[in-house]
Amino acid sequence: PRPAIIPRSAHWWWQDRERLLALATESGPAFVYHLPSVQLAIDELAGLKAVDRVLYAVKANPHPRILEQVDAAGFGFECVSPGEVRQVLEHRPGIDPERILFTPNFAPREEYVFGLEAGVRVTLDNLHPLKHWPELFRGRDIFLRLDPGQGRGHHKHVRTAGSQSKFGIPLFELEEAAERVAAAGARVVGLHAHSGSGIRTAENWREVARVLGEAAEHFPEVEILDLGGGLGVVEKTGDDPLDTAAMDASLADVARAFPGKRLWLEPGRYLVARAGVLIARVTQTKGKGEARYVGIETGMNSLIRPALYGAWHDIANLSRPDEPAGTPATVVGPICETGDVLGNDRLLPECHEGDVIAIANAGAYGRVMSSQYNLRDPAAEIVIE
Ligand code: LLP
């Protein structure tokens, strides 16, 4: 049993703050990735007994050292664009392309040609490719992405199932899908679904497995049920962590109902979020009426999650570990938008120019979603071995 409340002192970035203070001074704003923490998450998921294969969702963080570490664990890779497939092939030369699952959506015909020629496994997320380009799939083994009907996740932008989402083949199209697959001369060997991102309800994946297992009756050659990713991590103190042991037990349960099917998972965030922290120095502070602002060197151009999803990332002043919190302050970057906020009303010790601020859980969907907005370079990337 893991504690529901994880004290800050348990995090690698708090324990290792002296090193982060030095890095912030040498390198300026940076995403720092702590590989031992990636390994902890890898080991945890590798230990799930009901799961036959874990594929890392490259979109969360395509840094070559992270790809290397995931590869060393024998995990596969889930890619959503030719760019992600190329990133894996370039940095893991010689990898068996069968370990890569390519799951594009609303992609042009050429991208399916690219995937098939590269020899990676290809997922269709819509009937359009089978209707309009059936010749591509003749004699091929393919995956179909289904919409399991129920979307979940930390924000509506990241719920990827249900009638409000653009993803997946709806269950009412299964019969037509089977006919079109047969007409194209393809074989469906895997069914796939992904409900959303940032889910800490252990039951989610069992429900997805049940939907896919039942849908597999339309496709006699299905061997694999890919239950997607979406495994959430604790953000705020007091959040319940995802109970991976309960998840494993519930998957073992559902697997018995569908003998002969192998279960896959494709987490991104769970493997890398906690291993990354964004560090930056305080530039200026301001009091404006009641409001207090702490400005730091980088903002939404590096980490857009708070602005885009209202995401909550723990923020700490690494330079003053022992000082008590002062008045709540809003932590902002230097970007010319009112939305350039990293955290609202945070209880930080009194911050001074040059103090080093750490923003936690920044290893997933951080640098990869950054931009050059305002022509300010986003934070660099540093790896701690
Ligand atoms: N598989 C598929 C098909 C996906 O679409 C995704 C994420 C994943 C796996 C991995 O999901 P994860 O385990 O990382 O939750 N930018 C958002 C998250 C978007 C996720 C999109 N799809 C965020 O920062 O919260």
Shortest-distance Cα residue to atom 6 of ligand 1: 229
Q: Output the pLDDT for position 9.
A: 87
78 Cβ below 6 A of ligand 1: yes
For residue 231 and ligand 1, the question of a CB distance below 6 A is answered with yes
Pocket test for ligand 1, best of 100, 167, 269 (most atoms within 8 A of CB): 269
pLDDT of residue 5: 58
Catalytic site residue from 10, 113, 183, 336:
336
Distance 196 CA to ligand 1 centre (A): 7
Return the DSSP state at 309: H
The number of beta carbons lying within 10 Å of the beta carbon of residue 246 is: 13
Residue 185's pLDDT is what?
98
Give the global pTM. Answer: 0.97
Other C-beta atoms lying within 10 Å of the C-beta of residue 327: 12
Our mutation pick for probing the ligand 1 site, out of 59, 227, 233, counting the most ligand atoms within 8 A of Cβ, is: 59
DSSP label at residue 350: P
| CB 268 near ligand 1, within 6 Å | yes
138-171, pLDDT tens digit by residue? 999 999 999 999 889 999 898 988 888 999 999 9
Active site residue 79: no
Are 367 and 305 contacting, i.e. CB atoms less than 8 angstroms apart?
no
CA atoms within 13 A on the CB side of 128: 11
Residue nearest to atom 16 of ligand 1 (CA): 365
Q: Is 60 in the pocket of ligand 1 (CB under 6 A)?
A: yes
- The helix, strand and coil proportions of the chain, stated in percent and rounded to the nearest 5, come to 35, 25, 40
pLDDT of residue 368: 98
Q: Which residues of the chain have pLDDT under 50?
A: 1-4
**Residue-range domains of the chain with CATH:** 8-12+273-384 (2.40.37.10), 36-272 (3.20.20.10)
Tell whether ligand 1 has an atom less than 6 A from the beta carbon of residue 84.
Answer: no
228 pocket-lining for ligand 1 (C-beta < 6 Å): yes
